[in-house]
Amino acid sequence: MEIKFKEEKFSDLTLNFNVSPSLFDLKINLKHQEKEIKAIHKTKNQYKIQVGPNEYLVQVKVSPFDAKITINDEKFDFGPKPKWYEYIVGGLPFLLAVSGGALGGVIGFLGWTGNMNFLRFGNNNKKYLHVALITVATIILYITAAFIIRPLFQ
């Protein structure tokens, strides 16, 4: 998903984010004026951008639940917010915690994280298909793990 970010206070800075969701991660590519910007600190998603005489230190924090950009110590929200029903659909794997205890809770949390990645930043045409596949996969993973672990406690 491509997201454009423009803040009036930084009028010479226009950023284009390409956020690609995967099951447990969100990959970020940042561009300014169609030129890709390389991160100066990959794990913290920090970028240094020179625009004329102005230098900007940009830090991007993207998670399935929140997306913030910090430009020279000022924080801004960006990106689409999930709709109320997407939180419910994305949280369906958490129902495993009700019947599955700790194992269901861990697997449900992983499924919820994957679902929210796709619901927030996925391709609109395919995001519900990804969510359905992840939800079914979490159920299959839980049943498989329960059958493997169950004999150990008998």
Please, which residues have CB within 8 angstroms of residue 33's CB and are 6 or more apart in sequence? Answer: 14
Percent of the chain clearing pLDDT 70 (strictly above): 97
pLDDT at 101: 85
Say which DSSP state 22 is in.
-
pLDDT at 42: 67
Quick one: pLDDT band at residue 93, thresholds 50, 70, 90?
A: very high
Region 93-101 average pLDDT: 85
Query: CB-based burial of residue 58 (10 Å sphere; 0-12 exposed, 13-18 middle, 19+ buried)?
Result: buried
Count of C-beta atoms within a 10 Å radius of residue 17 = 20
* Alpha-carbon distances, residue 4 vs 1, 30, 69, 89, 135 (angstroms): 10, 10, 12, 27, 30
Residue-wise pLDDT tens digits, 34-75: 888 888 876 778 888 888 888 899 988 877 778 888 899 999
Please, which residues have CB within 8 angstroms of residue 67's CB and are 6 or more apart in sequence? Answer: 19, 61, 77, 78, 79, 120
Q: 26 forms bridges with which residues in the sheet?
A: 21
Residue-wise pLDDT tens digits, 111-145: 999 999 888 888 788 899 999 999 999 999 999 99
Residue-wise pLDDT tens digits, 15-34: 887 888 776 677 788 888 88
Q: Where are the domains of the chain?
A: 2-77, 84-153
